[in-house]
Amino acid sequence: MSELVFFSGTMDCGKSTLALQIGHNRSARGLQGVIFTRDDRAGEGKLSSRLGLVTEAVEAGPGRDLYGYVVDEVSRGGKVDYVIVDEAQFLAPEQIDQLARIVDDLDLDVFAFGITTDFRTRLFPGSQRLIELADRLETLQVEAMCWCGARATHNARTVGGVMVVEGEQVVVGDVNQPAEDVGYEVLCRRHHRRRMTSASAHAGALSPDVLPVSAG
């Protein structure tokens, strides 16, 4: 029976790499799929991983009917055996409903990959709808690590090297960005709550100790 599967995790945990691997494995067996993505780091219509792998994809921009796209492909004689969706957190809830319809009406497996919460620790609407509708939820086992060595569970946004907790939910950026740009970093809950990124922790470690002051 076909499934809608949501693979979730923080940045740096291998979501896009797994999406590419699933596509490769099925292609090697003669299967053909449709790959959707949204706001990939490599640019429009690309699915890329931090390991340097990249493939062509269909940009799932606002208003695109994902169910309608697959139906059109099949109607024109195209072969569609499965659907992969990367950066699924950026999809609108109605687009997630369309993915569920692909599973139920077209009997195709849909593999969706995305981040559950944003830099404010709030659920992305697309991820929330996936949690509500998915047949199966999978947390990726490749654990991203906070700068302190603990398991990273939260995504932090930095602007000018400083962690921020306010602003638009979707601002495209990436890890390892120059300090003056919008960037992202994965942190454990403790350091996300304290707004302590690797840069601020490093700066604190380099600060001179305050000498004790004794009276008279």
Catalytic residues, which ones?
A: 87
Residue 200 CA to residue 84 CA, distance in Å, equals 38
Place of tokens 């990124």: 197
Is 171 within any annotated ligand binding site?
yes
> Does 148 carry a binding-site annotation?
no
79 is in an annotated binding site: no
Q: Is 100 annotated as a binding residue?
A: no
Flag whether 163 is marked binding.
no
Query: Does 172 show up as a binding residue in the annotation?
Result: yes
* 9 labelled ligand-binding: yes
- 88 has binding-site annotation: yes
Q: Say which amino acid occupies 212.
A: P
Is 145 known as a binding-site position?
A: no
11 belongs to an annotated ligand binding site: yes
Range 52-73 burial, b when 16+ CB lie within 10 A, else e: eebbebbebeeebebbebbbee
Q: Tell me whether residue 89 is annotated as binding.
A: yes
Q: Which residue ranges make up the annotated binding site for substrate?
A: 170-173, 184
Annotation: binding site: 9-16, 86-89, 170-173, 184
Annotated binding residues for ATP: 9-16, 86-89
